[in-house]
Structure 1
């Protein structure tokens, strides 16, 4: 017998305000067609002024708990991936813990930008396998609309707000790749590439700052690194790309998604795509896509899923799991 971290519930939340590409035409030298052809994005959601990252995360967490048929009392830990926490401290995760009425266990944030959810999932898996938690709520939530430079047409049209969550539960497996749950993880970072994607402010520099990105350079790294990490994780699980039912990638850009699928030798009808509706929601994009994919009837129990992401750091990684 082998311990496995099995997904028993999933949920998401999107703010009510939908922003179509056409809205940017009023203030920027851009067009719906320009945004669509370069990114695949058609619309995104922006949080209301009084809506914070922990609010979005709480709604997604409640949806995931409901889907799992569990309550906050059944959860031992919350791991929340975000780069846009409400406050410098405490963590957004502890705010969600309070919002859910959870008075036991522990909660903390993980910061790996767009790769955050993969890092959070890997950490949650480690907590379960080491016996420190039986059930972990893993959340990705962002309000990237708060760190946009609205005069920079190359970045501000790409990002959106949202949250996704799933519940991981310790279950016994046979120790084979047929088991449900997380089968392997693979994480990387290389701090030499900081200048490709970063926010030019923070606590220690005494400013909030705005997102800055060298899009072409990020693109160049993305396809190569995402393909490599996905293939490494599959290999660790004793599998290959032909065993994959669904790639659920970080939803940054349709061309990166297409390029990675092609390099992995998988057709696009094996890829869950939500970028057209959500934009790039950073750490929220993978759990959002998992939840929407299940809602659409794409993802079914027993399906083999590879999820991969790359973000500022650069940080990147992948998780192979059987739904």
Structure 2
């Protein structure tokens, strides 16, 4: 299980529903002072635990992970180097670029970092050292308007490029007394509608740029860790035990898709030609853009894969794992 695979510091970033009940105990292993300590240079940075990657324009890839590490590649992932300046050593769980220069990374202690030079240097926009309430995901529709989501229904929004971040009020969770679902992956449909993959098979949806949200059920009972939108407008979310769901009507209804995997899905991406997913136990899932059928492949090393990115103009994805960058078999 994931708890047995990853360290306690990353537990709070990746773990699913049953692990979050113990998140406060795991977080104690990470001292808040480290969050305000600049990330240092690593001898073998590509072997550090990496959790997410993003395109910074058509030419650059940016990956983030443990101890505040930020890696940059300008050759489709063939070689990587560390960013020059990162002001925090907190684990970074997600990264997103609105264009070639403006990007944001989020992680433990509610950290939000921003870059205006394509990821070369970063500055601190937000942190909350009073509680390790990590942020799991970040998305910007342009250089000014963005959202970050995380533990215990933490949802933040900005309309000034991150100079200020304001908490968003979510509706009461189905069957609950308050909004208490962990929000794992925020992404947008092709029409700009916002979605968040969450716990207990729930997907939150906003059709008004985050002003209001509603819960949509996939029919699954497990946590959903990943989500993406295909070129034809179809939506996909996946999570525990390889469960994968597709919606062709903007999230109104969801249909189970056979992923062929029993390893929990940690990331899904679409590039207009194919959909690729990765998961624990070394699973790599590939499917045509309509996503009606997926072909699973399990790596011989059973690496705990945490993220995937498809370089511009390439059909060979870059794989991220708890052991760093992985080559595609």
The answer to whether the superposition gives a TM-score over 0.5 is: no
* TM-score, L = length of structure 1: 0.29
Q: Which has the higher strand share?
A: 2
Task: Considering Cα pairs closer than 8 Å and 6+ residues apart, tell me whether 1 or 2 has the greater RCO.
Answer: 1
